[in-house]
Amino acid sequence: MMDVRTSVHFGVSILSVLFTIGASGEDYFPEAQNVKWVSNNFKTILTWGPEPTNYTYTVEFSKVGKDRQRNPYCIQSSGTECDLTNELRNLEDTYSADVLSEPLPGVNSDLVEFPYTRAERFCPYKDTQIGAPSFNIKQSEDKTKMTLHIQDPLTPLYKDDQLLTIRDIFKKDLKYSVVYNKAGSTGRKETMSDLRDVELTNLDKGESYCFMVAAYIPSRSAEKRLGDWSKPKCSPRESKTIFEEFPFGVIAGAMGIMLAMLIILITLTVVCCKRFCCKKKNVDKENLQLSPV
């Protein structure tokens, strides 16, 4: 009886060891983790982890419902990202992508289907993040109007050997949101423009204003409509004369005070001089009387 139990225990142990070896052998490939799209201004990269050891990753992608394709640079690779910018040319289509865990090149496997992890569906037109635009400030001659000249961000996409801007892609769907405030003030105003040149009027003459700009795509879902905000940029403060800086009453009052102080100073000076002269005369007379004949 003891021999039977011993044999059964031994057999179970052997099976466990074989299962462990099989699970950790060449046919065991961990699935990719944290597979996600990283896209800015239509430069689109699929990323994942961890870095592979003794296995590789292969990326397959397709338009939803179409045949799957492979990027030749992302087949049995040890990397953890794949640039699919040039593969996703139809920007308004929706794409899916899988990251497969496969053996090293030249290594055979008995697996019919390799482990894979699927990314969320991605549409470049709706999902790429729009970066912060750059802009310049021009002030009108009468100092009451400013115009922001916004530069449409470039994309890595070409057409007829020319780099496309986000306006080339979004066209009339692109707007710009502008927030601004007087320098040193916390109160902000906001305006929306369909154009690259944004004109702001009814500004306080000679004051410095600070601006921030972001792209705005109204056709997108609420959380993806607004692009990245630019860094604040402020207009120069105009140098004012004293008559422009202060009201006439303040200037007149200050001049009156200065004039009064000047009069008091002159009066004191005259009185002191008279006293000094009188004292000197008295001393001279006393010296004259005391001098010998």
Examine the fold and report which residue of 77, 111, 127 is the final residue of a domain before the chain moves on.
Answer: 127
Examine the fold and report which residue of 127, 160, 185 is the final residue of a domain before the chain moves on.
Answer: 127
Contact (Cβ atoms closer than 8 angstroms) between residue 90 and residue 100? no
Distant-in-sequence, close-in-space partners of 292: CB < 8 Å, separation ≥ 6: none
Query: Do 177 and 94 belong together in one domain?
Result: no
Query: Do 123 and 146 belong together in one domain?
Result: no
Question: What's the average model confidence in pLDDT over 233-238?
Answer: 83
pLDDT tens, 52-99?
Answer: 999 999 999 999 999 999 999 999 999 999 999 999 999 999 999 999
Computed over every residue of the chain, the mean pLDDT equals 85
Q: Distance between CA 187 and CA 91 in Å, rounded?
A: 39
Tell me what pLDDT residue 280 has.
62
Q: How many domains does the chain have?
A: 2
Q: Distance between CA 32 and CA 96 in Å, rounded?
A: 15
More confident residue, 63 or 184: 63
pLDDT tens, 6-53?
Answer: 453 444 444 443 444 444 445 789 999 999 999 999 999 999 999 999
More confident residue, 222 or 3: 222
118: containing domain = 2-127
pLDDT tens, 253-282?
Answer: 777 788 778 888 888 887 777 776 766 666
Q: What is the pTM assigned to this prediction?
A: 0.71
Query: Do 207 and 108 belong together in one domain?
Result: no
Q: What is the CATH number of the domain that holds 97?
A: 2.60.40.10
Query: Do 175 and 107 belong together in one domain?
Result: no
What burial class does residue 154 get, using C-beta atoms within 10 Å of its C-beta: 0-12 exposed, 13-18 middle, 19+ buried?
middle
Query: Do 19 and 122 belong together in one domain?
Result: yes
Query: Do 82 and 157 belong together in one domain?
Result: no
Q: Distance between CA 225 and CA 228 in Å, rounded?
A: 10
Establish if 251 belongs to a structural domain.
no
Contact (Cβ atoms closer than 8 angstroms) between residue 180 and residue 126? no
Examine the fold and report which residue of 108, 127, 146 is the final residue of a domain before the chain moves on.
Answer: 127
DSSP strand E in 103-250: where? Answer: 116-118, 134-139, 146-151, 154-159, 162-165, 175-182, 189-193, 197-200, 209-216, 233-234
Query: Do 113 and 140 belong together in one domain?
Result: no
